[in-house]
């Protein structure tokens, strides 16, 4: 496959991609190599929390690149120490291990829980996870995921991940045995189509895991870093997990992820965990720039306002076109389309210069930059409204 200037054949075909090549981004806007402009409500899959190529990140990377790229993970470096300190100061956790991707951070969380089981729970190793959950694409994180499409792939899977149902405490209780060491979940299931765990469920899960001496592990790779209106989603429920993973937004567009643990759960010994690029100063410098911005109270306040505006505009569109509910929190929202028209809406939006995502055939997911403006939200809504009007007209004619 190719377009006017590029051949695409040398890249492995791991997903279906439009024949578009992006060359530049700024805030909520992207440009392709033909000069066409797009309004981006995907942002690298909830990654670019400050928008495309924000000066704060570009400057931090340029300054750090001139100083030190990496000294080796067997030595300390300033940015990783500063970022670990800042993350622990602003969360309920005491220690951090930096990784390069969300899946790698989750692998670390799984290993940490198994280590805890070996040390404190007679070798218990099972981690209860959830139907519909998504934790990454390494073998263990695919095994921990509850994504139906993963089930037949790459057998045999890593054992030890019995699946419960979200917001169903009895389904968790039934799976607890002497082999159980923890419970791991996304507080909002993102890939599955933005299905939130209720605050009450999260509170009950905390009480249940505490009563059984189990670790509670939050995968906040999508929900963390202000995405849902708090710096970390667990704050909404007023509880404290034992382990949390961050990814996506923490690097604001560069590969950075983190595994955080309380003193109780942080039990790695020398040799248990590591990695060549983990905690390298270049990516940690970007992480510091992101955290400095996102943790400002006025930044979170305006992200919350933007989320409420987007939610009410989506509700208006839904009522106008007879669609379903709007789900989610902050700037992680989904619109239930009630019909399997997601792929078609996304394709038409791309043609119209709007980037949207359909994680499930009957839903759209919205994950714009956290500093998206009201005007940009209104532009996207107008574009979506026009597409739905055209499709409604087409359906009535058909």
48 near ligand PLP, rule: CB under 6 A: no
293 near ligand PLP, rule: CB under 6 A: no
**Placement of tokens 């076109």 in the chain:** 321
367 near ligand PLP, rule: CB under 6 A: no
Active site residues: 134, 219, 248
CB of 51 to ligand PLP, least distance (A): 19
Upstream peptide bond of 156 is cis (omega within 30 degrees of 0): yes
229: left (phi over 0), alpha (psi -120 to 50) or beta: left
The residue (of 48 and 101) whose beta carbon lies closer to ligand PLP is: 101
CB of 244 to ligand PLP, least distance (A): 11
Q: Can you tell me which of 50, 113, 194, 221 binds ligand PLP, judged by CB under 6 A?
A: 221
Q: Can you tell me which of 247, 281, 328, 383 binds ligand PLP, judged by CB under 6 A?
A: 247
Q: 125-144: which residues touch ligand PLP (CB under 6 A)?
A: 134-136
222 near ligand PLP, rule: CB under 6 A: yes
Count the residues of the shown chain that bind ligand PLP, applying the rule CB under 6 A: 14
CB of 36 to ligand PLP, least distance (A): 27
327 near ligand PLP, rule: CB under 6 A: no
101 near ligand PLP, rule: CB under 6 A: yes
The residue (of 219 and 293) whose beta carbon lies closer to ligand PLP is: 219
CB of 390 to ligand PLP, least distance (A): 31
The residue (of 140 and 377) whose beta carbon lies closer to ligand PLP is: 140
287 near ligand PLP, rule: CB under 6 A: no
Q: Which residues contact 315 (CB under 8 A, 6 or more apart)?
A: 326
The residue (of 102 and 229) whose beta carbon lies closer to ligand PLP is: 102
249 near ligand PLP, rule: CB under 6 A: no
CB of 134 to ligand PLP, least distance (A): 5
The residue (of 44 and 383) whose beta carbon lies closer to ligand PLP is: 44
186 near ligand PLP, rule: CB under 6 A: yes
Instruction: Name the segment binding ligand PLP (CB under 6 A); options: 9-17, 99-107, 229-237, 323-331.
Output: 99-107
Instruction: Name the segment binding ligand PLP (CB under 6 A); options: 102-110, 120-128, 272-280, 287-295.
Output: 102-110
Binding site for ligand PLP (CB under 6 A): 101-103, 106, 134-136, 186, 190, 219, 221-222, 247-248
């Amino acid at each position: 496959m190719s377009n006017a200037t590029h051949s695409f054949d040398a890249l492995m075909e791991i997903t279906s991609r439009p024949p578009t090549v992006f060359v530049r981004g700024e805030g909520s806007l992207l440009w392709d190599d033909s000069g066409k402009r797009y309004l981006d409500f995907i942002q690298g899959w909830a990654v670019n929390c400050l928008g495309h190529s924000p000066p704060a990140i570009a400057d931090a990377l340029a300054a750090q690149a001139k100083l030190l790229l990496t000294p080796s993970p067997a030595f300390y470096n300033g940015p990783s120490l500063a970022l670990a300190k800042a993350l622990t100061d602003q969360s309920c956790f005491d220690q951090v291990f930096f990784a390069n991707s969300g899946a790698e951070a989750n692998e670390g969380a799984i290993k940490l829980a198994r280590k805890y089981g070996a040390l404190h729970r007679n070798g218990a190793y099972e981690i209860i996870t959830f139907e519909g959950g998504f934790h990454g694409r390494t073998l263990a994180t695919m095994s921990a995921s509850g994504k139906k499409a993963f089930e037949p792939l790459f057998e045999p899977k890593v054992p030890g991940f019995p699946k419960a149902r979200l917001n169903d405490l009895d389904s968790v209780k039934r799976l607890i045995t002497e082999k159980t060491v923890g419970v791991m979940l996304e507080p909002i299931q993102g890939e599955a189509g933005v299905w939130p765990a209720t605050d009450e469920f999260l509170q009950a899960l905390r009480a249940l895991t505490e009563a059984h001496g189990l670790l509670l592990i939050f995968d906040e790779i999508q929900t963390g870093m202000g995405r849902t209106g708090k710096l970390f989603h667990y704050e909404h429920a007023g509880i404290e997990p034992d382990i949390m993973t961050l990814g996506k937004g923490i690097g604001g567009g560069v590969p950075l992820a983190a595994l955080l643990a309380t003193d109780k759960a942080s039990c790695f010994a020398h040799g248990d965990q590591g990695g060549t690029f983990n905690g390298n100063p270049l990516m940690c410098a970007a992480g510091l720039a992101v955290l400095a911005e996102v943790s400002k109270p006025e930044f979170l306040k305006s992200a919350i306002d933007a989320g409420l505006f987007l939610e009410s505009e989506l509700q208006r569109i839904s009522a106008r076109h007879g669609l379903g509910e709007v789900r989610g929190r902050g700037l992680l929202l989904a619109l239930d389309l009630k019909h399997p028209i997601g792929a078609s809406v996304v394709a038409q939006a791309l043609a119209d210069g709007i980037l949207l995502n359909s994680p499930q055939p009957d839903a759209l997911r919205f994950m714009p930059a956290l500093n998206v403006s009201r005007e940009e939200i209104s532009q996207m809504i107008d574009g979506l409204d026009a597409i739905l009007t055209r499709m409604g007209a087409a359906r009535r004619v058909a």
